[in-house]
Amino acid sequence: MKKLIMLLAAMTLTLPVAGWAAPNGEAIYHKACSVCHNTGIAGAPQLGNKAAWKERIAEGTDAMTRTAIKGKGAMPARGGHAELSDAEVRAAVEYMMEKGK
C-alpha cells in the first residue's frame, strides 16, 4: 500500500511538468499580433523594422510584456485575445523583439 501511495504521489507531481511546453512566440504572433504588426496599422511597429523597435527593445522584455498585457493606444490588451496567458504574451513579445534586433 505504501508503494502505491508513493507511486501515485510521484505521478501526480510529474504530470504538470510532463505536459508543459514553452509557448511558441511565432505562432502566437501570427494568431494575435500580425494583423497590425505586419502592416503597421495605427502606428504599430512593423515586425523586423529595426528603427521602429530600437527604443522599445531598450525598455526591456518585462516592460514590453506589461504593455502588451494591458494594451496601449490602439493596441488592445493581449492583442485582443483575452485567452492568452501572460507567458504566451511574453513569448510573442520576445519573438517580435528578436526580429527587431
| Residue 48 counted as domain residue | yes
Range of the domain at 62: 23-99
What pLDDT was estimated at residue 28? 97
**1 occurs within a structural domain:** no
Structural domain includes residue 16: no
* Single-letter amino acid, residue 7: L
Give the tens place of pLDDT for each residue, 53-75: 999 999 999 999 999 999 999 99
Query: How many structural domains compose the chain?
Result: 1
Q: What is the pLDDT of residue 3?
A: 58
The answer to the question of residue 8 being in a domain is: no
The CATH number of residue 61's host domain is 1.10.760.10
Q: What residue spans of the chain are helical by DSSP H? A: 2-19, 25-28, 34-37, 50-59, 61-70, 86-99
Q: Are 64 and 44 in contact (CB under 8 A)?
A: no
- Report pTM: 0.79
Q: Is residue 39 part of a domain?
A: yes
Q: Is residue 2 part of a domain?
A: no
Within 10 A of 89 (CB to CB), how many other CB atoms are there? 26
Q: What is the pLDDT of residues 3-49, one digit of tens each?
A: 545 544 555 554 555 567 889 999 999 999 999 999 999 999 999 99
The residue whose grid cell reads 483575452 is: 82
| Residue closest to 92 by CA, chosen among 22, 21, 2 | 22
- Domain assignment of residue 7, yes or no: no
Cβ atoms of 47 and 37 closer than 8 Å: yes
Q: Is residue 17 part of a domain?
A: no
